[in-house]
Homo-oligomer: A and B are copies of this chain.
């Protein structure tokens, strides 16, 4: 069976890549309303690729936001069904001036595809489309398969919940397979055994009711930037613990055994620092870097702005200052509860000189995939088959809030078989995806379906 796959993929290698590049040229930025037409164009393109690969009932499902692409191949009701989830939307490309080539003008350099979405998630999502094509064209599909490719992951999937609840029958499946995360390296494959949750809020601090001249009013009226800075500064203590009362209340501390297992992953702190260009690491005292990015909750500033930010100098005392703040959550923290805690805390510490508004952007629950589940085992075997090594189980730092949505609404476990790398510059300028990882993914996915069907 393997040879037919390998042969087919070798013959169609260049076309697989060309088709991906075509998708990457569409600026499907879900956060910006100006890209509404690009979103539809991208969804249509995926619909057409699924039809060409042999899927049935391929259709765009309208939502209150961007459409969901659905397609399926149901070969035998007695066989298990795998629901493949992915997303065709991408993060905004800004800051544009830091890209070495256009974010929507993909370039292949040193064996890597540089473009927004190359890894997150168009490249990884498309591996599934091409793996499906491989199985269809070689007549080797051994499980039922369904595709659910959404367009709002990067803005927190605000409409996926409604879609999933309304389409439970359509999406009925035995596991959900997602490639939207990373592994350590091709030499040291790994598999996500969990992800952090998210609470993302925006804070607006208002001082005076208009921008003022900092000479005329400076010193006599609270500057919202200074106040916002004081508020932000108070959110971490001297040990870099989050100093919001109640924040850690529900954190399920990892067991000694789990921490020992995490410590086994190869990790070179010097290499990590060199790669990031920092002299010293920073983080929650008493925890290792791997623990800080996996099993510990965090509070990060994702953006800040206020006053004059252009070229040159302007002596303004601004009316407003803003920040985007997000917390990563671990089991058993609840996104709603933490969001509420954050908002109430921010409002509480606001001094009387200013008015503060804090509001939710989006959230998602932390998620753990049991390593003894069928889906995890099938993914582990598939990777072992093509990489020659059993993958190391990991706890990822990112968040895919839809994991708990699928579990809750469909009763199915999610397996996160990611083929990206931490160095792929996700959400950053010069996002890339290694060609080797793209092809390795296409090669590995058919084994997942085979092993899952056999379990």
Residues of B within 8 A of A235 (CB): 226
Number of copies: 2
CB–CB B211/A308 < 8 A? no
Contacts A31-B310, A326-B214 given; does A233 touch B236 at CB 8 Å: no
Q: Is A210 an interface residue (CB 8 A)?
A: yes
Query: With the chains together, A117 CA to B212 CA distance in Å?
Result: 15
Residues of chain A from 292 to 333 with CB closer than 8 A to chain B in the complex: 292-293, 296-298, 300-318, 321-324, 326, 328
Residues of B within 8 A of A298 (CB): 214, 218-219
CB–CB B303/A304 < 8 A? no
Q: Is A257 an interface residue (CB 8 A)?
A: no
Query: With the chains together, A302 CA to B313 CA distance in Å?
Result: 8
Q: Is A281 an interface residue (CB 8 A)?
A: yes
CB–CB A428/B324 < 8 A? no
- The answer, among B94, B313, B362, for a CB contact under 8 Å with A361, is B313
CB–CB A217/B316 < 8 A? no
Contacts A213-B426, A308-B92, A314-B427 given; does A233 touch B222 at CB 8 Å: no
Residues of B within 8 A of A232 (CB): 225-226, 229-230, 233
Query: With the chains together, A207 CA to B114 CA distance in Å?
Result: 23
Query: Nearest residue in B to A34 (C-beta to C-beta)?
Result: B311
The smallest C-beta distance from A386 to any residue of chain B, in angstroms, reads: 24
CB–CB A304/B305 < 8 A? yes
The smallest C-beta distance from A321 to any residue of chain B, in angstroms, reads: 7
The smallest C-beta distance from A117 to any residue of chain B, in angstroms, reads: 14
CB–CB B312/A303 < 8 A? no
The smallest C-beta distance from A227 to any residue of chain B, in angstroms, reads: 8
CB–CB B399/A215 < 8 A? yes
The smallest C-beta distance from A173 to any residue of chain B, in angstroms, reads: 26
Q: Is A425 an interface residue (CB 8 A)?
A: yes
Tell me which of A218, A228, A234, A236 has the highest count of chain B C-beta atoms within 10 A of its own C-beta.
A218
Query: Nearest residue in B to A196 (C-beta to C-beta)?
Result: B215
The smallest C-beta distance from A171 to any residue of chain B, in angstroms, reads: 25
Query: With the chains together, A425 CA to B209 CA distance in Å?
Result: 11
CB–CB B293/A428 < 8 A? no
Q: Is A32 an interface residue (CB 8 A)?
A: yes
Q: Is A4 an interface residue (CB 8 A)?
A: no
Q: Is A246 an interface residue (CB 8 A)?
A: no
Contacts A31-B312, A283-B220 given; does A302 touch B307 at CB 8 Å: yes
The smallest C-beta distance from A100 to any residue of chain B, in angstroms, reads: 12
CB–CB A303/B306 < 8 A? yes
Query: With the chains together, A219 CA to B155 CA distance in Å?
Result: 22
Contacts A361-B313, A427-B211 given; does A304 touch B229 at CB 8 Å: yes
Contacts A210-B425, A225-B232 given; does A155 touch B217 at CB 8 Å: no
Query: Nearest residue in B to A322 (C-beta to C-beta)?
Result: B309
Interface window among A140-148, A183-191, A271-279, A435-443: A271-279
Residues of B within 8 A of A155 (CB): 312-313
CB–CB B218/A397 < 8 A? yes
Query: With the chains together, A216 CA to B306 CA distance in Å?
Result: 27
Interface string of A58-98 (1 = CB under 8 A from B): 00000000000000000000000000000000011011001
- The answer, among B31, B215, B429, for a CB contact under 8 Å with A211, is B429
Q: Is A54 an interface residue (CB 8 A)?
A: no
Contacts A302-B313, A324-B313 given; does A282 touch B31 at CB 8 Å: no
Q: Is A182 an interface residue (CB 8 A)?
A: yes
CB–CB A429/B210 < 8 A? yes
Query: With the chains together, A155 CA to B309 CA distance in Å?
Result: 14
CB–CB A218/B328 < 8 A? yes
Query: With the chains together, A323 CA to B98 CA distance in Å?
Result: 20
Residues of B within 8 A of A234 (CB): 233
CB–CB B296/A317 < 8 A? no
Q: Is A198 an interface residue (CB 8 A)?
A: yes
Q: Would you give 24 A-B contacts (Cβ < 8 Å), ordered by A?
A: A154-B314, A208-B277, A211-B425, A211-B429, A214-B298, A214-B326, A218-B293, A218-B328, A220-B281, A223-B301, A225-B232, A225-B323, A280-B351, A300-B315, A302-B308, A303-B308, A303-B314, A303-B316, A303-B318, A304-B309, A305-B309, A308-B324, A313-B362, A315-B399
Q: Which 6 A-B pairs have the closest CB atoms?
A: A215-B398, A209-B277, A31-B312, A219-B298, A233-B233, A303-B307
